[in-house]
Amino acid sequence: MSKSIDDLLPPKPDVRLRLYAWSSPEVAERWRGCLKVGQTTQPVNDRIRQSQGQARVQYSIEVDKSAERADGSAITDTEVRSRLVAKGFENVVFESSREWVRCTAADVLTVVQELRENREYSGTHHHDFRMRSEQTNAVEKTLAYFDSIWAQDADAVPEFLWNAKMRFGKTFTAYQLAKSMEAKRVLVVTFKPAVEDAWKSDLESHVDFDNWQYLSRQTGTDPADADPDRPLVYFGSFQDLLGRDGAGNFKAKHRWLTELPWDLVVFDEYHFGAWRDAARELFEGEDDSARKRELELEFGSDLEIFAHEIEELGSAEDTFVPIRAGAYLYLSGTPFKALATGRFIEEQIFNWTYTDEQRAKAEFADQRPAERNPYAALPEMRLLTYQMPDELVAVANQGEFDEFDLNAFFEATGASSEAAFIHKDDVQKWLNIIRGSHLPTQVDAMKAGTRPPFPYSDTRLLPYLRHSLWMLPRVTSCAAMANLLAEPQNASWHDYAVVNVSAPGIGDGLDALPPVRQAIGNGYDTKTITLTVGKLTTGVTVPPWSSILMLRNLKSPETYFQAAFRVQSPWTIQNPNGDDPKSEQILKPVCFVFDFAPTRALKQIAEYGAGLSPETPNPERAIEELVNFLPVLAYDGSNMTQVDAAGILDIVMAGTSATLLARKWESAILVNVDNDTLRRIMGSQAAMDAVMNIEGFRALGSSIFETVVNKSEAVKNTKKAAGDGMTTSEKKELSAEEKEYKSKRKQIQEKLIKFATRIPAFMYLTDFRENTLHDVITKLEPELFKAVTGLTVEDFDLLVSLGVFNSAHMNQAVFAFRRYEDASLSYTGIDSHVELRRYGLYDTVVALDGRN
């Protein structure tokens, strides 16, 4: 009997085998801690319920994984159990079932991955997720830059910066870069030893890094004894590895650093490379050694000595002993100082900012609604600012516009149980205000017909304040706040467990986390307030924290947003119903920053927005994009309204004077005179000719650039070669040479700054409304520009492209000048240089002779 075509070509069955493991709280004590490992082609839940028959025990699926190998064959549950037993895990006989194994889900996942790739992993290398698109882009862009540098000079040591915010996955992606480079030795250095946990766990949990070696001070292993045939990662702190002893000598115990070649050196948390301002800010106002001691414990006892080294030499890496590095990678979520100083040019930077993250989240949801959104758990931030009543502002104000001084308002005396606020009655009023129980505020609200959304009174905000972080100015302030919250009149605050991590006896770094986590528990049945000066505000993750109260003056956007991002950590429940390991319940869709010094808070937003996108053509657009994903709400004493980008800039610049603008154009940060920049000038005859046209350079002579570069390199190389072996006379000789080249570098800087101060003079005379440096270059009147500055437009464009002028910082100065100029011209009734001609100013400037 012949068969039909349909019989000969039957459809291919779409049957997939899955491996699973589940646990149950109902099994006897003897089998607690065991997982039942099985396989099925059915939905896993159906198979488990089917296998239980009438028993219907409660269960939770711990593993649900495809059993397929790349070659089309399948892994069986028998193979999984056999491999687990071979690794030492107990196969427990449960009634008639032999499918129970005493192990964890991670152990099962590790074995599945081993069987899939026919290999055995050390540790628990079970993660096999791939890089996200932005992580792949970071690796590819970095490698392309490294290769381009090495193609020009095989001995060059390239540098690259990842401006990547928290949750980008910097550690995992940095390891992927090292793997792509085929690096054998990777040195990871950080100012924050507390981040070691992430570097260790990422290396030991992902299958891509099986057989890699991880060493640190904590492991106690000598890197010189490591297996040379296996990739090595060594983790350490700047302060420990690269610091000096009290006599200024490199630590003998770390001489191995100079003996091993390092294919890649990674600087983690690099914003602390510009940490001097932050350190000063954290120490500000401290009359005792309590905060200093806290910083030393947080960053290491060598902090002060290392600080001096950086202050003298200008950057952390200049303090190095002769480390033989193949390439440097810098990691930071807030590298504003590095960006503003022009340390890295555009091709040396990969950006992944908060705005990028939230944009990706929105686009993924819009374009692929049926798929799991990998960014969904990352909360969107909200900034709420509050204008305090005049009676409180009068207690502590500063500046021309009587800005509320948080440091003065929360100033305290005493210690521990004796600590108390100097303005205790007023701080009590503040506590009443944020709970909505301050009578004058209530009366004002009744008159206005609106109820202001104060943090601890608005029902929409209260769920996000179950677990909050309060950042105070001093150790004594934290103690005073804990004491005040505990007093009888504050019974309504007694529902919150107050954890003062700045109190004596609390651990440092990650050691300060246990009391916080213990107080929070599961996060559902508790309420907590964590008090801190600066501890736990970088490099830590506490998912239930959903809000932060900024109760101290913070001038640095790095410090401000590093702290703010602590509350942006995802808080989710994986597999909430115990029946789908891929499901996720998001518990924190948004998070909040509360600030009580509005102008200062909005200035932080403005600087952060501009800092996120230093090359954005218009700073206002950068801020506008930021506040699209980080809405800003401001309470002015009667109403809470949303503030747009233009409103933020208007408020921030309300106190800007012509004097302050002039200082912007006299700042050394506008120009770059490092060796790399000077080499780029020397490498271009057109650039050398352009520089020589700037007033004062002909007197210095063109050889000054080569002198500075050669002498500084010679001194640096001599120091490295000599190490700690230089005599006193040799050190003095080097010191004299250092003074010489530093003096000449200073002269170059001063001449360039003097040129920069002429740009606002030109801007004031031109009709165009320049918002950026790009506008100055492309929308100019060439004759006027040359008359005012002494350079042609083409010459100036060339120098900007070579990084001689810091375009990121100059953009901000241009934009600030334009906004100020528009306001002043409007006030005087003069709208453009067309009217200036009437007064003869334009023709006077154009008629000026060259300034060389």
Tokens describing residue 736? 């004299």
Q: What are the strands of the beta sheet with 547-550, ordered from one edge?
A: 497-500, 528-532, 467-471, 547-550, 590-595, 380-386, 632-635, 640-642
Q: How far is residue 150's CA from residue 443's CA, in Å, rounded to a whole number?
A: 70
- Residue 363 domain-assigned? no
- Would you tell me how many other CB atoms lie within 10 Å of the CB of residue 207? 18
Residue in 495, 447, 500, 457 with CA at minimum distance from that of residue 477: 500
Give, as one character, the DSSP assignment of residue 132. P
Q: State the pairing for strand pair 547-550/528-532.
A: unpaired
Residue with tokens 């989710």: 572
Same domain as 220, residue 101: no
- Residue 724 domain-assigned? yes
Q: Report CA torsion sign: 793, 794, 796, 801.
A: positive
Same domain as 181, residue 111: no
Residue in 511, 555, 552 with CA at minimum distance from that of residue 531: 552
Going from the first residue of the chain to its last (852 residues), give the mean pLDDT of each consecutive group of 10, the final group possibly shorter. 58 81 78 87 88 77 88 84 88 80 92 85 74 95 95 89 88 95 92 75 85 84 81 83 60 73 87 46 42 48 44 40 80 73 80 92 93 90 87 72 80 94 95 80 52 86 94 95 97 96 82 88 89 86 93 85 90 74 84 90 82 64 84 79 76 50 62 85 89 83 86 76 63 74 85 78 58 57 73 83 74 60 45 42 40 36
Q: Calculate the alpha carbon distances from 61 to 21, 106, 114, 115, 209 in Å.
A: 6, 13, 21, 21, 27
Give, as one character, the DSSP assignment of residue 419. -
Q: Which amino acid is at 301?
A: S
Residue at a domain's end among 83, 117, 151: 117
> Where do runs of H (alpha helix) occur along 697-781?
697-700, 703-722, 728-756, 759-765, 773-778
Are 559 and 337 in contact by the 8 Å Cβ rule? The answer is: no
Tokens describing residue 220? 């106690």
Are 670 and 805 in contact by the 8 Å Cβ rule? The answer is: yes
Q: How far is residue 773's CA from residue 815's CA, in Å, rounded to a whole number?
A: 9
Are 633 and 385 in contact by the 8 Å Cβ rule? The answer is: yes
- Containing 634, the helix (H) or strand (E) segment is strand 632-635
Q: How far is residue 669's CA from residue 391's CA, in Å, rounded to a whole number?
A: 40
Contacts of 584 (CB under 8 A, 6+ apart): 372, 376, 377, 572, 573, 574, 576
Residue with tokens 């003065």: 408
Q: How far is residue 342's CA from residue 336's CA, in Å, rounded to a whole number?
A: 10
Q: Where are the beta strands (DSSP E) in 41-184?
A: 60-66, 90-94, 97-102, 159-164
- Would you tell me how many other CB atoms lie within 10 Å of the CB of residue 174? 26
Same domain as 522, residue 386: yes
Residue at a domain's end among 92, 117, 142: 117
Tokens describing residue 165? 């915010």
- Residue 839 domain-assigned? yes
Q: What is the pLDDT of residue 239?
A: 67
Q: Give the torsion through C-alpha atoms of 759, 762, 768, 770, to 10 deg.
A: 10
**Residue 732 C-beta-side C-alpha neighbours within 13 Å:** 3
- Residue 239 domain-assigned? yes
Indicate the burial class of 25 (C-beta count within 10 angstroms; 0-12, 13-18, 19 or more).
Answer: exposed
Beta bridge partners, 470, equal 531, 549
Angle separating helix axes 807-828 and 619-629, nearest 10 degrees:
100
Residue 322: φ, ψ to 5°: -70, 75
Same domain as 628, residue 687: no
Same domain as 109, residue 147: no
- Containing 443, the helix (H) or strand (E) segment is helix 439-448
Give, as one character, the DSSP assignment of residue 806. -
Contacts of 151 (CB under 8 A, 6+ apart): none
Q: Does the reported pTM lie above 0.85?
A: no
- Residue 1 domain-assigned? no
Same domain as 313, residue 185: yes
Q: How far is residue 363's CA from residue 849's CA, in Å, rounded to a whole number?
A: 56
Same domain as 158, residue 35: no
Q: How far is residue 218's CA from residue 850's CA, in Å, rounded to a whole number?
A: 64
- Containing 310, the helix (H) or strand (E) segment is helix 303-313
Q: What is the pLDDT of residue 844?
A: 40
- Containing 785, the helix (H) or strand (E) segment is helix 782-789
Beta bridge partners, 19, equal 39, 65
Indicate the burial class of 410 (C-beta count within 10 angstroms; 0-12, 13-18, 19 or more).
Answer: buried
Q: State the pairing for strand pair 467-471/528-532.
A: parallel
420: helix, strand or coil: strand
Same domain as 623, residue 503: yes
Q: With b meaning 16 or more CB within 10 Å and e meaning fewer, what string describes 800-825?
A: bebbbbbbbbbbbbbbbbbbbbeeee
Same domain as 274, residue 166: yes
Beta bridge partners, 531, equal 470, 500
Q: What is the pLDDT of residue 725?
A: 61
- Residue 224 domain-assigned? yes
Query: What CATH number has the domain bearing residue 314?
Result: 3.40.50.300
Contacts of 585 (CB under 8 A, 6+ apart): 572, 573, 576
Q: How far is residue 335's CA from residue 612's CA, in Å, rounded to a whole number?
A: 9
Residue at a domain's end among 655, 680, 710: 655
Q: By residue range, what is the domain housing residue 629?
A: 377-423+450-655
Q: What is the pLDDT of residue 841?
A: 40
Residue in 792, 802, 795, 805 with CA at minimum distance from that of residue 762: 792
Same domain as 157, residue 77: no
Q: How far is residue 354's CA from residue 591's CA, in Å, rounded to a whole number?
A: 13
**Residue 542 C-beta-side C-alpha neighbours within 13 Å:** 32
Same domain as 828, residue 724: yes
> Where do runs of H (alpha helix) occur along 341-436?
354-367, 390-393, 406-409, 424-434
- Residue 459 domain-assigned? yes
Domain count of the fold of the chain: 4
Residue in 75, 84, 121, 82 with CA at minimum distance from that of residue 105: 84
Same domain as 455, residue 492: yes
Q: How far is residue 82's CA from residue 167's CA, in Å, rounded to a whole number?
A: 37
Q: At CA 449, angle to CA 447 and CA 452, rounded to 5?
A: 100
Q: How far is residue 410's CA from residue 396's CA, in Å, rounded to a whole number?
A: 9
Q: What is the pLDDT of residue 783?
A: 72
Q: How far is residue 825's CA from residue 833's CA, in Å, rounded to a whole number?
A: 10
- Residue 360 domain-assigned? no
Are 100 and 35 in contact by the 8 Å Cβ rule? The answer is: yes
